[in-house]
Structure 1
Amino acid sequence: MIFLLIIMCVSSYDKFLSIIDENTKYKIQLELDKMQEEYFAQLDEKLNELHSLRHDMKNHLIVIDGYAKQENYTKIHDYISVLTNNLSTTDPMDTGSSVLSSLLHQKKQQAGRLGISCDIDTQISHVAIDDFSITTIIGNLFDNAITAAQKCSSPWVCASLSQSGSYLEFTIDNCHCEKIKEKNGEFSTTKKDKNLLHGIGIKNVRKVVSDLNGQIDICYTDDTFHVNILLPNYE
């Protein structure tokens, strides 16, 4: 009888974990869908602006040519500044994955709103890694980097994605100004915002990387935190 109860409890617990896992994936997928929708809307807006600028370009060039004949270089500079400022700052991220592109774009915008210098270099055209795994890894690491950087006087984050042989290589560096607390490879957090990606943590990032047969290297100095990840990404 006791043995039967134990089996029932274990079975119920497994089902409970499965439900939580599916619910978490569903919520994250909703976040991804929303990010992609916003990203594509901004790309459409920029495309429309470019079409409008192209349509009026002849008139703009006539004005600039007039200033050039007058040798009024200040007016030329100011006019060109107005043209460029009227364009949105949406930077298309060409990664071969709409999910990854919109995720990177969203993180760069988030950093910009917080006054953080964020440079993202993408040199990949194909992503074979599933959406959930790539979101878990890159979304969480960007959140950690942004949270740490925004506490510094001159905040910055720098990331790159490239194809290294048959591996996707993701590197992210950020400044930090607090003492890092590490124990057995785990890092404690000072985050107050416990959203989905924040709650996943370095521990789960390591697990996902391991499940994908990848490699992760984390190191830091007194003012810089560095993460390098290699993930199989076969064509």
Structure 2
Amino acid sequence: MLFLECFGNLILPFICSCIIYGIFRDCLSLRNSRAVRVFFFIVLFILSYPVVLPGETTATLGIFVFLYLSVLLFFTDRFIVKTAVVLILYPVWMSFYYLDYNAGYIVWVYVFGRDMPVFWENAMIAFLAAFKIPFLIFIHRLVGKWLKPDEMNLPWNVWAMISIVSLASFFGIITLIFQVDEPGTYIIWPACIACILTNMGICYICSFIARSVRISMEADIMRTQQSYYADLKRERNEIYALRHDMKNHLSIIQSLVKHDEKKQTEEYLSGLLREFSSSLKRFCENETVNALLNAKYRTASEKNIECDFMVELPGDPGIDIVRLCAVIANTLDNAIEGSCRIEDSGRRKVTVKGRYTDSSFSYFIENNISAEPAGSEGDFKTTKKDTKLHGYGMGIIRDMVSAMNGTAEIKCDDSRFSVTVFIPVKSQESVYDL
């Protein structure tokens, strides 16, 4: 008897708390503090064993509010992401706990006629409660696979829609639990199962959308690299051809010098140097970013935009290179777009600076503008007709930076527009884990 009570009141809640703690750690970024982690685990231990009773929702809603406030306080992710994760996970947790508890209640009422020895009653409760462990482990594996924070690069409006759908599922099951009466408490079991399947389906959809977004960004980078290497091959062939004709060029120069044609000699040498000079530049050591900068530099040059690029970035920077390229590409697209609206081509200028240290990468881009862009609170959007195929609004760029645990600052006045991005470099040092 004592063992059953200890198992049901201490051991089982502790195991469930550990699993739920792992679920939230897999979905969100917990603050890097041992005290915060211990306190959050204590909160989960207190909340880990809610008894969801038919016709009673006060405790269920109270636990939801307390859990939601704890997640908002202890995790560093965006507000909308934390909201969506809680609204996805808590209804799953609550629905299964109702099924588990109500199954025991049905056995107690219909099999034993409400007359069951205390020992066997405690044994049945412990047996049914033990099913929470494999269920939570199963949810942990699915969530860890589908809601990886490093891959959840979704815009704000997508997270908002996910939150609304999950909230509808939550209020739907809460309403049914509140309205169901004895003895037919089992009639809402299908609704509980549907709630679990719906929210797990939402997790899968999140993963599918995130993978699609990332594949699209990787494809853009690959196309940029292919274009860069094609230009390298073309220029290499041109240089080989020039070297093959070097004897003829030297003979012409020798003839011009012999006849003291100084001006013609200088013009001929200048033209020859222009042919030898490469249009491809080495902006940084990272090949992917360098290819991207060359592509944008060429685009800007074709539109008579002066470019000043100075970027320090090694080959392996410890940063998500796909997201970094997306940020650089879209800020450059927006800068080129803004510069093209300036009628005076002499004022068209884009400046890019990047500085890399062992702990962070800072990125700065500035361009002249004709007038202050339309927008509110720094959320400036592209004016291109096809926003799906061209640059992102600054709001989504903020989301990309935030996904790398970085910050973005936007400034704008009557003549200049600038974006400053700060991204921490992944540390190889170990972190405290419970």
Fold equivalence (TM over 0.5): yes
One-letter amino acid matched to 1:192? K
- Within 2, Cα distance between the matches of 1:123 and 1:70? 49
Task: Work out whether residues 136 and 197 of structure 1, in 8 Å CA contact, stay in contact via their aligned partners in 2.
Answer: no
Task: Work out whether residues 46 and 88 of structure 1, in 8 Å CA contact, stay in contact via their aligned partners in 2.
Answer: no
Whether 2:408 is the aligned partner of 1:216: answer yes
User: Which residue of structure 2 lines up, in the alignment, with residue 177 of structure 1?
Assistant: 370
- Within 1, Cα distance between the matches of 2:192 and 2:276? 69
Which residue, 312, 317, 329 being the options, matches 1:139?
Answer: 329
Sort the Cα spacing of 1:65 and 1:96 in 2 relative to 1 into closer, same or farther, 3 A.
same
One-letter amino acid matched to 1:220? C
Task: Report how many residues are paired.
Answer: 234
- Secondary structure (helix, strand or coil) at the match of 1:86 reads helix
The CA deviation at 1:109 is 1.6
Whether 2:242 is the aligned partner of 1:50: answer no
Taking the TM superposition and a 5 Å limit, the aligned residue runs for 1:1-235 are 1=188, 2-87=191-276, 89-126=278-315, 127-153=317-343, 154=345, 155-164=348-357, 166-196=359-389, 198-199=391-392, 201-233=393-425
Question: 1:148-186 CA distances to partner (integer Å, 9 max, x unpaired)?
Answer: 111102222121223246322221111111332342332
The CA deviation at 1:34 is 1.7
Question: Higher strand share goes to which structure?
Answer: 1
Sort the Cα spacing of 1:4 and 1:183 in 2 relative to 1 into closer, same or farther, 3 A.
farther
Unaligned runs of 5+ in 2: 1-187, 428-434
Question: 1:76-128 CA distances to partner (integer Å, 9 max, x unpaired)?
Answer: 23212332343475313352322211111111122223232223223333433
Unaligned runs of 5+ in 1: none
- Secondary structure (helix, strand or coil) at the match of 1:198 reads coil
Question: Higher helix share goes to which structure?
Answer: 2
| Structure whose CA Rg is larger | 2
- Secondary structure (helix, strand or coil) at the match of 1:158 reads strand
Task: Work out whether residues 225 and 288 of structure 2, in 8 Å CA contact, stay in contact via their aligned partners in 1.
Answer: yes
- Within 2, Cα distance between the matches of 1:76 and 1:233? 53
* TM-score computed with the length of structure 1 as normaliser: 0.85
CA RMSD after TM alignment = 2.5
Q: Which moved more, 1:210-219 or 1:145-154?
A: 210-219
- Within 1, Cα distance between the matches of 2:381 and 2:217? 23
* TM-score computed with the length of structure 2 as normaliser: 0.49
The CA deviation at 1:37 is 1.3
Task: Work out whether residues 111 and 146 of structure 1, in 8 Å CA contact, stay in contact via their aligned partners in 2.
Answer: yes
Q: Which moved more, 1:23-32 or 1:64-73?
A: 64-73
- Amino-acid identity (%): 27
